[in-house]
């Protein structure tokens, strides 16, 4: 920050450097929390799997097989839902904010193609003659 102040020779240079430092610190914090969220999903998977296995252990053998099958199916569906939500979040909030810029030219669609037939040669009567 002191170097930015000395280069700019104004207070605004130091304030701009402080703003960049704050922004970089917040980005580091949010990225760390984002990766911690992935760890939380792993813990949730372990907890759901442990719950399914515990329920299967308390049941007779034929029911334990059904509980394991249906329980793992529920876990897979829930994790598929989580993955779809996280993918949407990544695309909408992280990808677009990082790479999409508002500069450029305005989108203008192409004009409609010219008609293939401009005039008809005549009319056709219901009997098939002109």
Residue spans of the domains in the chain: they are 2-99
> Could you report the per-residue pLDDT of 70-112, keeping only the tens digit for each?
999 999 999 999 888 888 887 787 777 777 777 778 888 899 9
Q: Name the pLDDT band for 63 (thresholds 50, 70, 90).
A: very high
Mean pLDDT for the stretch of residues 114-119:
75
pLDDT of residue 57: 94
Instruction: Quickly list DSSP for the chain.
Output: -HHHHHHHTSHHHHHHHHHHHHHHHHHHHHHHHHHHHHHHHHHHHHHHHHHHHHHHHTS-HHHHHHHHHHHHHHHHHHHHHHHHHHHHHIIIIIIHHHH--S-S----PPPPPPPS--S-S----TTS--
| Alpha-carbon distances of 73 from 23, 35, 78, rounded to whole Å | 43, 26, 9
Q: Check pLDDT > 80 for residue 39.
A: yes
pTM of this prediction? Answer: 0.52
């Amino acid at each position: 920050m002191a170097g930015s102040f000395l280069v700019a020779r104004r207070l605004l240079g130091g304030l701009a450097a402080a703003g960049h430092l704050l922004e970089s610190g917040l980005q580091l914090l949010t990225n760390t929390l984002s990766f911690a969220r992935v760890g939380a999903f792993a813990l949730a998977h372990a907890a759901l799997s442990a719950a399914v296995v515990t329920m299967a252990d308390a049941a007779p053998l034929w029911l334990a097989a059904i509980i394991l099958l249906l329980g793992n199916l529920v876990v897979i569906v829930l994790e598929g839902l989580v993955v779809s939500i996280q993918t949407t979040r990544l695309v909408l909030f992280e990808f677009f904010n990082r790479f999409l810029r508002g500069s450029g030219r305005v989108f203008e669609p192409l004009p409609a193609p010219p008609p293939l037939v401009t005039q008809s040669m005549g009319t056709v009567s219901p009997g098939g003659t002109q």
